[in-house]
Chains A and B, each alone.
Chain A
Amino acid sequence: MSKQSSSRASAAIRASLKKRYARERRFQWYGRLAVLIGFVFLFILLADIVSKGTPAFTQHYIRVSVELEPDVLGIERDATRDQIFNANYLGAIRASLRAMFPDVTGRKEKQQLYRLLSIGAEYNLRDMVLKNPGLIGHTSEIWLRAHAEAGSYLKGQVTADLPESDRKVKDMQVAWLDQLRAQGRTESRFNTTFFTQGDSREPEMAGIRVALYGSFFTLLVTFAIAFPIGVSAAVYLEEFAPRNRLTDLIEININNLAAVPSIVFGLLGLAVFINFFELPRSAPLVGGIVLSLMTLPTIIITSRAAIQAVSPSIRQAALGVGASRLQTVTHHVLPVAMPGILTGSIIGMAQALGESAPLLMIGMVAFIMDAPAGVTDPSTVLPVQIFLWADSPERGFTEKTSAAIMVLMGFLILMNGLAVYLRRHFEKK
């Protein structure tokens, strides 16, 4: 090539370089913009959930001087336990409230006054008295749970600036609550109810206990089914199955199965396990089976990838000293692949934990107040509980929804963290 033409070529390259670099820079900016937009939306979402959900972790209590005289409770002085159980606590509480605000006389006003306290207050009081019958015959200062609407005023979520028609706490109640607060008769406490109670129609009494138990049992079933089956299938397909049409077909179908909408698994569960096998409805057992079908492809695919990634030299080494194929797999391949398998399984479990659609199909939406004691008891799960609460109009449930989402996300982060930890931990070895 002549000198002239080569210099012409380099001039042409130089001219095109500028364009190429500009294009590259532009592309980088698109990328950064995309990441930024993603982060902004994520941040807005998280900020919204956290700001809405945080108040649900506290709850207000009101201190009331309750006169626990036998004639108020409608019992004898030497009442039996049964009588104490059935005593008129509601009456006692109402009488006490009336005594604290003697100028309330009208029927409507009284109703308003009673609504300062939770409907569950009488049961809390009953439990206290049952535990300590010595309270009978005395007047005691007792902390009782505030009604959700009163609570949201005390939390500052609703202010008196709003026109009265736009809020559920009425002007009268606001005045009483202000008075109570001034007397030091109100207190904000950590909301243990949220974790120790099942669902309820009253927001201040509703909790995620049933959903937590349900999610736990469901995942237990899912793991117990999906992990052994998934890993065995992966081992068989990777290490033993011949490569032919049939195994190709199976492989394609496993990949397709991973893309099936989860609600389809719910329909399957309904048709097969509940209608045909007559397994109990709403139970973690069926939920777990359905979710294990959903997570199986994930576990199989990730396990196969992990097994494939094990260096063939390790297999050769084991076979070379005379290990059988099964020994090679169980003694050498699986231990090396285990971190990858566990990571995949945990991610599959995390998916299952966040799943609601298939569980709606098998009736895990029932309103359940008592925590399940086993996998066959009716139950609900966290995402379904969130779905149910999100549907309720009361302000108290809005914050509960966000709080439950926070708990669910906490578990998801925990599980993903565990997966990352396992991977790091084993990689170091």
Chain B
Amino acid sequence: MMERVQQTDTAGIGDVKRPLDIREHVERADYQTIGEPFSGDAKMTARNVNVYYDEKQAITNVSLDIGRNEVIAMIGPSGCGKSTFLRTLNRMNDIIPACRVEGEFALDGEDIYGADQDTVLLRARVGMVFQKPNPFPKSIYENVAYGPRIHGLAHNKAELDEIVEDSLRRASLFNEVKDQLDKPGTGLSGGQQQRLCIARAIAVSPEVILMDEPCSALDPIATARIEELIDELRENYTIAIVTHSMQQAARVSQRTAYFHMGKLIEVGETKQIFTMPKHELTENYITGRFG
């Protein structure tokens, strides 16, 4: 069902949208992002993004592509705007009254801030996992079943059961909770809760998953489980992950973007960023001189 919607939407969009000139973007910026912010096969694109909280600018002129089936890590010192940028990608900033977003965003070439864009549909396609595990105060089953139910993805109980089981399996949580699906999700351990949130996010079959420091509340073992999981999910999903752990970024991502004070300083292959950063700020950060 998801795919059909996507096709009809992209069909109409291609001719409306003005192709973006990369040079124009670079000229307009008062700084230059070093490295390669663009991707040959982009799932999501963001161009000339500025975000303000009231008068305060939190993101300055950021352009970035997220490639299909890649894991892109976003790193940078606290307060540099990683979460803010991530939230622009599924319009979670809409619920912050003070927040104003400028720029052009597209998902598979389709404008996601367009007047006819439904945020409900967008968030079903671009799912999100938050920093603090936030299961609903309902049963484990309900947590996972909620999304598919409101989107009408299952036609009967059996189908719904199947989606729930499948999502829990893919979040490698099923074996631990299969006998207590009716127990409250809030009763699980922190790591289990976060995997439950991941299961909840993938239950609606999103195309992109945004993760905002998904492991910051977890111990190393739970973190390792989630990192494994991200690796597996990459086959079917596009993932953008914000993290404070350089090791984590190095382990799970193919590309890394370094943010600094609302600016996107450097983007590149993860290996390159961590071994041969081109910008001084990036180098300072990854060698631990600040942040």
A residues near B, CB below 8 A?
242-243, 311, 313-324, 327, 331-332, 335-336, 429
Contact = CB atoms under 8 A, between A and B. Distances in A.
A320 B92 contact: yes
A322 B134 contact: no
B95 A319 contact: yes
Contacts of A318: 136, 146
A314 B136 CA distance: 6
Contact of B135 (A317, A322, A331, A335): A317
Contact of A313 (B92, B130, B200): B130
Interface stretch (B56-64, B117-125, B232-240): B117-125
Given A319-B92, A321-B200, A313 B134 contact: yes
Interface string B158-196: 000000000000000000000000001000000000000
Interface of A is mostly: helix
B197 A429 contact: no
B220 interface: no
Contacts of B122: 322
B200 A316 contact: no
A315 B90 CA distance: 15
Interface in B53-75: none
Contacts of B225: none
Interface in B126-168: 127-128, 130, 132, 134-137, 146-147, 150-151
A313 B120 contact: no
A314 B197 contact: no
Contacts of A324: 120
Contact of B124 (A243, A321, A331): A321
Given A322-B124, A323-B120, A429 B151 contact: no
B92 A327 contact: no
Contacts of A321: 123-124, 127, 146-147, 150, 200-201, 203-204
A317 B184 contact: no
B97 interface: yes
A56 B225 CA distance: 72
Given A322-B122, A331-B150, 15 more contacts: A242-B97, A313-B134, A314-B137, A317-B200, A320-B92, A320-B128, A321-B147, A321-B200, A321-B201, A322-B120, A322-B204, A324-B120, A327-B150, A332-B136, A335-B137
A322 B120 CA distance: 5
Contacts of B150: 321-323, 327, 331
B92 A331 contact: no
Contact of B123 (A243, A314, A319, A332): A319
Nearest to B131: A313
19 contacts: A243-B97, A313-B130, A313-B132, A313-B134, A314-B134, A314-B137, A316-B128, A317-B130, A318-B136, A319-B95, A320-B90, A320-B92, A320-B123, A321-B200, A321-B203, A322-B123, A322-B151, A327-B150, A331-B146
A318 B143 CA distance: 10
Contact of B147 (A242, A313, A316, A322): A322
A315 B123 CA distance: 13
Q: Which 10 A-B pairs have CB atoms at the shortest separation, nearest pair first? A: A322-B124, A313-B134, A321-B147, A320-B128, A322-B123, A317-B134, A322-B120, A324-B120, A323-B150, A321-B204
Interface residues of B, number: 27
Contacts of B127: 320-321
Nearest to A316: B130
A320 B208 CA distance: 12
Contacts of A332: 136
Nearest to A243: B97
B142 to A, nearest CB: 10
A17 to B, nearest CB: 41
B120 A316 contact: no
B184 A320 contact: no
Nearest to A328: B95
Contact of B137 (A242, A319, A336): A336
B201 A322 contact: no
Given A321-B124, A321-B201, A429-B137, A316 B92 contact: yes
Given A322-B120, A322-B121, A322-B150, A317 B197 contact: yes
A318 B135 CA distance: 9
A318 B123 CA distance: 10
Contacts of A317: 130, 134-136, 197, 200
Contacts of B147: 321-323
A327 B136 CA distance: 13
A426 to B, nearest CB: 10
A311 B137 CA distance: 11
A316 B134 CA distance: 9
A320 B130 contact: yes
Most B-side CB within 10 Å, residue of A313, A317, A336 = A317
Contacts of B120: 322-324
Nearest to A321: B147
Contacts of B137: 314, 335-336, 429
